[in-house]
Amino acid sequence: MHSHFDQLYPSLKGYEITSHFKRDVGTLEGAEKIAQNILDSNHEAFEELHKFEEVIHGNHVFRAKINKEHYVYLITKEHRLIFVRAFKNFSKYKKYLEEKKILGSF
């Protein structure tokens, strides 16, 4: 069985790391490493990977998790993968997910 992410993956036209994601992770190098593990579908690097959350304004929102850190990424209508935010606190992540206007702006 293929995940929702696996179905969209072949149509990707590149990816981008937002400045928020880089700041949340701490360094550009760390953000790029996480992004590459997600792109490679490296399930061994995460407790959860490609967990589909919902579609917001045509953007497919996903989450990965390791060591209680939640990484939010989405695939836009234009088929770009964007690494949006990282949260150490699940309740802050859920509150952010409720901000549909922000996630729909990509």
Proportion of the chain in helix, strand, coil states, percent, rounded to 5: 40, 30, 30
Would you state the pLDDT for residue 65? 94
Q: Which tens digit of pLDDT belongs to each residue from 23-82? A: 999 999 999 999 999 999 988 889 999 999 999 889 999 999 998 899 999 999 999 999
Tell me the domain boundaries of the chain. Answer: 13-103
Would you state the pLDDT for residue 2? 58
- SS3 state of residue 75: strand
For residue 67 the two structure tokens come to 């060591």
Residue 1 clears pLDDT 50, i.e. is over it:
no
Q: Which residue has the higher pLDDT, 24 or 99?
A: 24
Rg (CA), the chain: 13
For the domain spanning 13-103, the CATH number is 3.30.2310
Q: For the whole model, what pTM was predicted?
A: 0.90
- Is there a contact between 106 and 78 (Cβ–Cβ < 8 Å)? no
List, edge to edge, every strand of the sheet that includes 15-17. Answer: 15-17, 81-87, 69-75, 59-66, 48-56
- Is there a contact between 25 and 86 (Cβ–Cβ < 8 Å)? yes
